């Protein structure tokens, strides 16, 4: 019975760790959104330029990408 309890605790720890990693990744995607928001506040920048900055941040983390074409 001890080995079953040990396996259950190990599985629970693994699920907790996986959830923590998922939350950390979501925070990183939020950081990319903040880069986009700050870029849009800069004078003379376009949506396309800011989307490109966002995508440079988001691509390595598999976050959702923004279209890089100007919307006018």
Rounded to two decimals, the pTM is 0.60
Burial 41-72 (b: 16+ CB within 10 A, else e): eeeeeebeebbebbbebbeeeebeebeeeeee
| CA pair distance 5, 38, nearest whole angstrom | 50
Confidence of residue 18 (pLDDT cuts 50, 70, 90): very low
Torsion of CA 52, 58, 60, 61, to 10 degrees: -170
Higher pLDDT residue, 63 or 5? Answer: 63
Average pLDDT over residues 65-69: 93
pLDDT of residue 28: 84
Q: Does residue 50 register a pLDDT over 60?
A: yes
pLDDT tier at 15, thresholds 50, 70, 90: very low
Query: In the predicted model, what is the mean pLDDT of residues 36-65?
Result: 96
């Amino acid at each position: 019975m001890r080995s079953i309890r040990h396996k259950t605790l190990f599985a629970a720890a693994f699920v907790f760790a996986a959830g923590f990693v998922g939350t950390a990744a979501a925070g990183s995607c939020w950081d990319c959104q903040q880069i986009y928001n700050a870029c849009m506040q800069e004078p003379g920048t376009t949506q396309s330029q800011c989307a490109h900055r966002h995508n440079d941040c988001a691509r390595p983390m598999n976050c959702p990408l923004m279209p890089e074409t100007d919307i006018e």
